[in-house]
């Protein structure tokens, strides 16, 4: 019987990073890898206090694929490039990278302005 640690490592490769189950293919710093991708839109305040919507993503990668993830790294998902801001949770052979798509910021009211006559 396999140990719990061995089973977790097996699940990482065979379940979590399997594109038939949870994972998707992304490009991380120029290399094609599989990762768990979570994309969301958040409202945040910009530098002058306006509310803007920002596309953010968290990507969970195997440390076998990305051995030393760091802020400033980039990854691409569905033709959108994200920049890693924070690296956390480097345990069990997996790593979570919080990221932002800087070009997706826009005011929350954008698109709701009345056209001038």
Q: Is residue 70 in some structural domain?
A: yes
Q: Is residue 16 in some structural domain?
A: yes
Q: Report the pLDDT value the prediction gives residue 92, as an integer from 0 to 100.
A: 72
Q: Report the pLDDT value the prediction gives residue 12, as an integer from 0 to 100.
A: 61
Cα distances from 115 to residues 46, 51, 62, 112, in angstroms, run 25, 21, 49, 9
Domain that holds residue 20: 4-107
Q: Report the pLDDT value the prediction gives residue 9, as an integer from 0 to 100.
A: 62
Q: Which portions of the chain are predicted below pLDDT 70? A: 1, 5-15, 102-117
Neighbours of 64 (CB within 10 A): 13
Q: Is residue 117 in some structural domain?
A: no
Which CATH number does the domain housing residue 29 bear?
2.40.10
Q: Is residue 113 in some structural domain?
A: no
Q: Is residue 69 in some structural domain?
A: yes
E strand map for 1-117: 24-28, 31-45, 51-62, 74-77, 80-91, 94-107
Q: Structure pTM?
A: 0.71
Q: Is residue 112 in some structural domain?
A: no
Q: Is residue 116 in some structural domain?
A: no
Number of domains in the chain: 1
């Amino acid at each position: 019987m396999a140990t719990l640690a061995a089973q977790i490592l097996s699940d990482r490769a065979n379940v979590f990073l399997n594109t038939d189950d949870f994972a998707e293919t992304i490009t991380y710093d120029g290399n094609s890898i599989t990762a768990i991708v979570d994309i969301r839109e958040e409202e945040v305040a910009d530098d002058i206090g306006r509310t803007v919507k920002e596309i953010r993503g968290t990507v969970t990668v195997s440390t076998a694929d990305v051995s030393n993830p760091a802020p400033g790294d980039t990854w691409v998902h569905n033709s959108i490039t994200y920049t890693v801001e924070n690296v956390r949770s480097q345990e069990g052979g997996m790593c979570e990278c919080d990221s932002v798509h800087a070009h997706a910021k826009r005011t929350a009211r954008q698109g709701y302005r009345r056209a001038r006559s």
